[in-house]
Amino acid sequence: MQAYLHMYDVTRGLRKGGTFLLNTIWEGEELAKNLPNKIKKYFADNDITVYYINATKIAQEIGLGNRTNTILQSAFFRITEVIPVDLAVEQMKKFIVKSYGKKGQDVVDKNYAAVDRGGEYKQLPVDKAWSSLAEEAAAANNDPEFINKIVRPINAQDGDLLKVSDFVGREDGTWEQGTAAYEKRGVAAFVPEWLEENCIQCNKCAFVCPHAAIRPFVLDEKEMAAAPFGDDNTIPAIGKQFTGMRFIQSVDVLDCLGCGNCVLVCPGKKGVKALEMKPLETQLEVQNEWDFCVKEVASKQDLVDIKSNVKNSQFATPLFEFSGACSGCGETPYVKLISQLYGDHEIVANATGCSSIYSGSVPSTPYTTNAKGQGVAWANSLFEDFAEFGLGMSLAHEKLQARIAGLMQQALECPSCSAEIKELAGKWLENRTDFTVTSEVAEKIVPLCEACGCDVCKGILANKEHIAKRSQWIIAGDGAAYDIGFGGLDHVLASNKNVNVLVLDTEVYSNTGGQSSKATPIGAIAKFAAAGKRIRKKDLGLIASTYGYVYVAQVAMGADNAQTLKALREAEAYDGPSLVIAYSPCINHGIRAGMGHAQEEQAKAVECGYWHLWRYNPALEEEGKNPFSLDSKEPQWDKFEDFLKGEVRYASVMKQYPAEAAELFAAAKENAQWRYNNYRRLAQQQWGVEPAPEVK
């Protein structure tokens, strides 16, 4: 597609007299105008035959969303004639039945149409005069050397041209943070446009965006004066903390993946949405608004309590942005939210799975730093030892903090340490589990210790990066948490150490193509459960809650933004192990409405009783209260079957195993009801009341 013209060396490997096919929105002269000189020259110098097709538009017309592969494959066979076209068409159609037959006639028909319309390509005449065109000079930029010398060549698929010596100093595998911000892929065909007159500043759009590509910015007078936009493009910011300031919900159109979740969740004003999907090329001019906001507008997150509600949480700068996860991914909004709440002192131990791939695939690192240079420290160990890996990190921090505690104690009695140092040491000792206080102490005590220079101060300085309390997160998919790493997870939860585990529950092994896990519910089709899974989903949350000292929550942000925020806050605040299980729609579910409905699908899942929201907070028990709260409403069970039919993983059971489908669907519902009743009983239990004596 056209975005790749500037991203990759698209003519590499193209022989003299070869053929080139481009998927593009441009036609004829406009296409010739937009092709880089370097490519035009190559075409002319090498007698290339050039074809183009707007497969993106065709896919949309057919109802295939952004799936262009069949159209382009058909165009390929027609152009190359590697086999007779009739035979190619016949074979492609045969394989469509094989690949998509299970998904229903509708999907088959759409793909048939894609094969037929693959013939709608045109030829672009190559002008011999292009041979004398001068190649564009590489645009100068002020980006870090690491980006220009290492990241860009790898992204341009030229990584194999880098020398081993280019990596001197990185032998231990550490990588710069925030490299994803430099990719600016511009791959979405449609992106949201913000219609300020309809915006109520709820920030729900930013909350759900899987790619952190839409964000609220609040500008003061000075920033407004310097902005490339005026009052017309902004609205007065709501809230007394923002008096006199202006609000803009800015879209990073080059990092947006066009899923449309933001538009769907937008309540707008009086039923009129404040976001609308528009073709990317009509929105390119707003990119400079985004660039300005990101670079020149100071975060106003300190003016509000970012943890108090969903709206405020989005004024916090995401320290996880522009990941390469699928468009509409249900996992990444949770990861992003944690980075907003705790990213400045967050450490992540990541299990292998989708979350490790989109969080740290060289050269792309979405984890980044704030204006103070603080950010998320992240590492991935294995699929099977993720929890122990995180526990190790936590124990190391605990040990180092114990060392700091000893030094602070010594500082209190040290004849050389000033009264100021002593005061800060005392403050640290009283608040060692509080990030805000300990980071404040760190900032103040370091220059004082440098000035003092006594042995105690030298000791504090040698351990200075451990003065501020850290927030330990352990992130895993369901395959890791329910199955392969469960033994380790159980051990870590039982350790009673202060770690937070986030399980991104896609109900399958997503990263390897959707294999069944113990989180896969009964009735769902997955790999290794091709006829629909025959046993129930494991209740990982309830198992963990039986320890009595583990905080547990089950959440689905699309169903209840506020409950997710609350659960993450409680998990972090709880001084012990916490487990948050987050329902995460995934491409492997085959949501019929598309991944743009991933958030809405969560709401439907909870509404019909497929997924339940609850929290088990041992801290409540200490107050004599019931630790279990059921947060979701009484399900509308009559909607259960329709929910299943809306996802290919269930709907295809009907197609392939019609005889068993009714039975499996009934079993799925029965199990969901059984789970719900368990939760209801727990929520209703009379805490603190002794059970009646056993009657013999």
Ligand X SMILES: Cc1ncc(C[n+]2csc(CCOP(=O)(O)OP(=O)(O)O)c2C)c(N)n1
Contact between 449 and ligand SF4 by CB under 6 A: the answer reads no
Q: In what order do the strands lie in the sheet with 614-616?
A: 377-380, 346-350, 471-477, 500-505, 578-583, 551-555, 614-616, 628-630
Binding mask 420-459 for ligand X (x = CB under 6 A): ----------------------------------------
Contact between 354 and ligand X by CB under 6 A: the answer reads yes
Binding mask 464-483 for ligand X (x = CB under 6 A): ------------xxxxx---
- Window contacting ligand SF4 (CB under 6 A); options: 123-131, 144-152, 206-214, 447-455: 206-214
Buried b / exposed e over 286-297, threshold 16 CB at 10 Å, is: bbebbebbeeeb
Closest to 574 in 3D by CA, of 555, 542, 551: 551
Yes or no: say if 602 and 611 are a contact pair by the CB < 8 Å rule. yes
Closest to 640 in 3D by CA, of 614, 664, 666, 660: 666
The Cα-based distances of 421 to 277, 414, 444, 457, 461 in angstroms read 56, 10, 9, 9, 13
Beta-sheet strands, E only, within 24-95? 49-53
Choice from 509, 574, 643, 679 touching ligand X (CB under 6 A): 509
Q: With residue 477 as reference, give the H or E element that holds it.
A: strand 471-477
- Window contacting ligand X (CB under 6 A); options: 248-256, 276-284, 408-416, 509-517: 509-517
23 - beta bridge partners?
53
Read off the tokens for 97: 């039945």
Choice from 92, 209, 337, 580 touching ligand SF4 (CB under 6 A): 209
Cα 621 from Cα 615, distance rounded (Å): 13
Choice from 58, 114, 256, 664 touching ligand SF4 (CB under 6 A): 256
Yes or no: say if 632 and 614 are a contact pair by the CB < 8 Å rule. yes
> Residue 352 binds what, of ligand X, ligand SF4, none (CB under 5 to 8 Å, by partner type)?
ligand X
Nearer to ligand SF4, 191 or 338 (CB): 191
- Window contacting ligand SF4 (CB under 6 A); options: 132-140, 262-270, 414-422, 572-580: 262-270
Between strands 246-251 and 235-236, the pairing is: antiparallel
Yes or no: say if 347 and 472 are a contact pair by the CB < 8 Å rule. yes
Min dist CB 401 to ligand SF4, Å, is: 35
> Residue 329 binds what, of ligand X, ligand SF4, none (CB under 5 to 8 Å, by partner type)?
ligand SF4
* DSSP alpha helix (H) spans, 163-242: 204-208, 221-226
Contact between 283 and ligand X by CB under 6 A: the answer reads no
Read off the tokens for 461: 């300085």
Choice from 181, 215, 219, 260 touching ligand SF4 (CB under 6 A): 260
Contact between 508 and ligand SF4 by CB under 6 A: the answer reads no
> Residue 325 binds what, of ligand SF4, ligand X, none (CB under 5 to 8 Å, by partner type)?
ligand SF4
Yes or no: say if 322 and 181 are a contact pair by the CB < 8 Å rule. yes
Closest to 581 in 3D by CA, of 543, 532, 622: 543
Q: Which residues contact 437 (CB under 8 A, 6 or more apart)?
A: 427, 428, 431
Cα 690 from Cα 693, distance rounded (Å): 8
Choice from 40, 78, 103, 204 touching ligand SF4 (CB under 6 A): 204
> Residue 43 binds what, of ligand SF4, ligand X, none (CB under 5 to 8 Å, by partner type)?
none
Contact between 355 and ligand X by CB under 6 A: the answer reads yes
For 137, list phi and psi in degrees, rounded to 5.
Answer: -75, 145
Min dist CB 539 to ligand X, Å, is: 17
Nearer to ligand X, 339 or 359 (CB): 359
Nearer to ligand SF4, 269 or 399 (CB): 269
Choice from 53, 88, 254, 257 touching ligand SF4 (CB under 6 A): 257
Q: Residues for the chain: how many in total?
A: 696
For 346, list phi and psi in degrees, rounded to 5.
Answer: -95, 140
Min dist CB 477 to ligand SF4, Å, is: 7
| CA contacts within 13 A on the Cβ side of 240 | 0
> Residue 385 binds what, of ligand SF4, ligand X, none (CB under 5 to 8 Å, by partner type)?
none
Binders of ligand X in range 631-690 (CB under 6 A): none
> Residue 591 binds what, of ligand X, ligand SF4, none (CB under 5 to 8 Å, by partner type)?
none
Choice from 2, 54, 70, 249 touching ligand SF4 (CB under 6 A): 249
Cα 74 from Cα 71, distance rounded (Å): 5
628 - beta bridge partners?
616
Nearer to ligand X, 70 or 517 (CB): 517
Cα 75 from Cα 21, distance rounded (Å): 8
SS3 content of the chain, % helix, strand, coil (to 5): 50, 15, 40
Closest to 493 in 3D by CA, of 539, 550, 575: 550
Contact between 199 and ligand SF4 by CB under 6 A: the answer reads yes
Between strands 122-124 and 235-236, the pairing is: unpaired
Closest to 395 in 3D by CA, of 467, 464, 492: 492
DSSP 8-state secondary structure symbol assigned to residue 445: H
Binding mask 272-291 for ligand SF4 (x = CB under 6 A): --xx----------------
Choice from 22, 337, 502, 504 touching ligand X (CB under 6 A): 504
Q: Is the peptide bond before 366 cis (omega within 30 degrees of 0)?
A: no
Contact between 368 and ligand X by CB under 6 A: the answer reads no
> Residue 257 binds what, of ligand X, ligand SF4, none (CB under 5 to 8 Å, by partner type)?
ligand SF4
Min dist CB 210 to ligand SF4, Å, is: 6
Size of interface with ligand X, in residues (CB under 6 A): 19
The Cα-based distances of 62 to 70, 592, 612 in angstroms read 12, 15, 36
Binding mask 379-418 for ligand X (x = CB under 6 A): ----xx----------------------------------
Q: With residue 19 as reference, give the H or E element that holds it.
A: strand 19-23
Min dist CB 485 to ligand X, Å, is: 8
Binding mask 511-530 for ligand X (x = CB under 6 A): xx----x-------------
Q: Which residues contact 542 (CB under 8 A, 6 or more apart)?
A: 552, 678
Nearer to ligand X, 20 or 358 (CB): 358
Choice from 506, 517, 520, 578 touching ligand SF4 (CB under 6 A): 506
> Residue 245 binds what, of ligand SF4, ligand X, none (CB under 5 to 8 Å, by partner type)?
none
Contact between 306 and ligand X by CB under 6 A: the answer reads no
Read off the tokens for 141: 């930029």
Contact between 203 and ligand X by CB under 6 A: the answer reads no
Choice from 74, 510, 602, 652 touching ligand SF4 (CB under 6 A): 510
> Residue 199 binds what, of ligand X, ligand SF4, none (CB under 5 to 8 Å, by partner type)?
ligand SF4
Q: With residue 405 as reference, give the H or E element that holds it.
A: helix 386-413
Contact between 326 and ligand SF4 by CB under 6 A: the answer reads yes
Binding site for ligand X (CB under 6 A): 352-355, 383-384, 476-480, 484, 504, 506, 509-512, 517
Interface positions with ligand SF4 (CB under 6 A) = 191-192, 194, 199-205, 209-211, 213-214, 249, 251, 256-262, 266-268, 274-275, 325-326, 329, 331, 354, 358, 506, 510-511, 586-588
